[in-house]
Structure 1
Amino acid sequence: MKKAILLLGFIFFGLQSSYSQGGEFLLGVNVGLPVGDVEDISNFDVGADIGYLFGLADIVKVGPTAGYMHFFGEDDVDDFQFIPVGAAGRVDLGFIVAGLDLGYGIGVDDGNDGGFFYRPKVGFSVAMLNIVASYTNISIEDNFSVGTLNLGLEFGL
């Protein structure tokens, strides 16, 4: 847990110093429905993301991202959490935005080691706001992964 908090602090300070160099700062919130292996132990999840994207070309942006995902356990299963940390890429076609986040989902609670994280996204852009649909997957073990279908908002600053 201490390592995860330290890592998040390092990323946020890095994002803050990068902010003055030009680019786009993003804040996001989302809700999701667990699918696949995890749908039997969780019925709902919420999350938040922060990122900073640098423009590579007129329509292509990349940068670091970090977030928090909280899964609500069903019946006698405890809630569990992840801190996804990684890289984000976006293609902005005007009113349509597509992207992919890749990295590692750090398991926050005891017994949760985390795993490889990916999230393809597609959304509609309205001014400084994106309405985003995504699929999130964290591969915990060879035979178990945590997947969700998400709907959320991204705010560009």
Structure 2
Amino acid sequence: MKKLILLFGIFLFGMQSSFSQDGDFILGVNVGLPVGDVEDISNFNVGADIGYLFGLAEIVKVGPTAGYMHFFGADGDDEGVEWEVDDFQFIPVGAAGRVDLGFLVVGLDLGYAIGVNDGNDGGFFYRPKAGFSLAMLNIIASYTNINVEDNFSVGTFNVGLEFGL
């Protein structure tokens, strides 16, 4: 895990050096409510993302992104049988795209979410986003889906902030 974080840091530092005049770093934080297959085993999730977006056109930006998602496990009691699910985590790594329409921002992140905890293999993820732009700050609503297995996916509705650095 530490090696992965170090490699990602070196990657971002290298990108900042190569594209320092051509793009923008973004930092995002969010909270969410799990839906679908995981709504019974997780109460909520938190996440953070960092990326580097460079302009393709006046209103279109693309670039690499990575982050961290932490899902808090639920517990319960079914007919006298108590159960508890451990927290689980992902590191999504992929590509981000944004279209800035002035006060409105829409985007999509695509990639692979690496499972961090034992027994979590990760899977393909996608995250459509929409929000309001307030200069260097975007208020974002998004939906994240990670296809962990053929018949199981991790989905969550999120709200958060993206900061331009």
Task: Give the TM-score band, short-chain normalised.
Answer: over 0.9
Deviates more, 1:11-20 or 1:125-134: 11-20
Letter in 1 for 2:30: N
Equivalent residue number for residue 43 of structure 1 = 43
* 1:55-74 pair list within 5 angstroms: 55-74=55-74
Equivalent residue number for residue 108 of structure 1 = 116
2:93 to 60, 85, 92: 85
Q: Secondary structure at the match of 1:58?
A: coil
Deviation, 1:27, is 0.4
Q: Retained in 2: the 8 A contact 1:11–1:66?
A: no
Letter in 1 for 2:106: A
Residues 1:87 and 1:151: Cα distance change in structure 2 (over 3 Å)? same
Deviation, 1:24, is 1.1
Deviates more, 1:16-25 or 1:38-47: 16-25
Deviation, 1:22, is 1.9
Equivalent pairs counted in the alignment come to 157
Per-residue CA deviations over 1:102-147 (Å, capped at 9, x if unaligned) read: 0000000111000001000000001110000000011000100000
**Partners in 2 of 1:64 and 1:116 — Cα distance?**
15
Per-residue CA deviations over 1:69-120 (Å, capped at 9, x if unaligned) read: 0000001100000000000000000000000000000000111000001000
Deviation, 1:20, is 1.6
Q: Secondary structure at the match of 1:40?
A: coil
Equivalent residue number for residue 16 of structure 1 = 16
**Partners in 2 of 1:66 and 1:60 — Cα distance?**
19
Deviates more, 1:2-11 or 1:38-47: 2-11
- Per the normalisation by structure 2, the TM-score is 0.90
Q: Secondary structure at the match of 2:121?
A: coil
**Partners in 1 of 2:11 and 2:108 — Cα distance?**
19
Give 5+ residue unaligned stretches, structure 2.
Answer: 76-83
Deviation, 1:2, is 5.3
- Per the normalisation by structure 1, the TM-score is 0.95
Between structure 1 and structure 2, the one with the greater Rg is 2
2:125 to 112, 117, 130: 117
